[in-house]
Amino acid sequence: MTARRFGLVIFDCDGVLVDSEPIINRAHARVLTACGYPITESDLVRRFCGMSDADMLAIIEREWGRGLPMFYGERVGRMMENAFRQSLAPIHGVTEALDTLQLPVCVASSSTVDQIRRKLELTGLLRRFGENLFSSTMVERGKPAPDLFLYAAQRLAAAPDRCLVIEDSPAGINAARAARMTAVGFCGGSHCGPEHGARLQEHGAALVVHDMRELVTAMAKLDSVPAG
């Protein structure tokens, strides 16, 4: 089944392809708290989900009024890598969704390209995307600005109004809408609480899916609605 309205499906990575958000936010929360900036995993998800680490940490440093220690990045990175090797898994149903899609696909994430590739390698998903991996480091402004999605579409010769973006964060939904793309909100990651889907709809998600195996059916529904 293919939705004729769309020519490219753009996936976020963390929380959409791989269930990495709890690992990432746990590492940041523990190290930030140890550094004297107490914060919880749920606070990080609520405030910064979808943003790059650089943008998140710049906001924290500005609010805190001081810089994070030099060891911060190395310590967080080591904690995340250890946890990724032990427990990182693909989002439930994502392999079935990718098997069913008959459209070009790519990844557009706030992570660096090396981080994206590593997570997809560990979960067996890298071959699905090849070199179609796009990072916010490639553009001037990360999400919620539209730059990353527009860059991915340009690189793959896809018109923005024929792109479908799969996102789990308000920042990502905002970025897709600003790029004049259709956004589907995904709230099947283990970091998503009961209100997550409603938040994504409030930010402009055309539909929300709770199981990645619902994606192609959702696309068919969108295909029957005129773009506008």
* Predicted model pTM: 0.89
Identify the DSSP state of 67.
Answer: P
- Cβ-contact 97, 17 below 8 angstroms: no
**Pair of tokens at residue 170:** 């308000």
Phi and psi at 94, nearest 5°, equal: -70, -35
**Residue carrying structure tokens 């099947």:** 188
User: Which pLDDT tens digits describe the chain residue by residue (228 residues)?
Assistant: 344 689 999 999 999 999 999 999 999 999 999 999 999 999 998 899 888 888 999 999 999 999 999 999 999 999 999 999 999 999 999 999 999 998 999 999 999 999 999 999 999 999 999 999 999 999 999 999 999 999 999 999 999 999 999 999 999 999 999 999 999 999 998 888 889 999 999 999 999 999 999 999 999 889 866 555
Contacts of 1 (CB under 8 A, 6+ apart): 100, 102, 216, 217, 219, 220
The pLDDT, as a whole number, for residue 3 is 44
Distance separating alpha carbons of residues 166 and 105, to the nearest angstrom: 11
Q: What does the alpha-carbon distance between residue 21 and residue 16 come to, in Å, rounded to a whole number?
A: 9
In CATH, 21-87 is 1.10.150.240: yes
Residue of 199, 204, 202 lying closest to 175 (CA atoms): 204
Q: Which fold has domain 8-19+89-223?
A: Rossmann fold (3.40.50)
- pLDDT > 70 in the chain, percent: 96
Write down the residue that tokens 């553009």 correspond to: 139
The domains of the chain are located at: 8-19+89-223, 21-87
- Which pLDDT score is estimated for 1? 39
pLDDT for the residue numbered 109: 96
Q: What is the pLDDT of residues 141-165, one digit of tens each?
A: 999 999 999 999 999 999 999 999 9
Q: What is the pLDDT of residue 194?
A: 86
CA–CA separation, 167 and 10 (whole Å)? 9
Q: Are 185 and 177 in contact (CB under 8 A)?
A: no
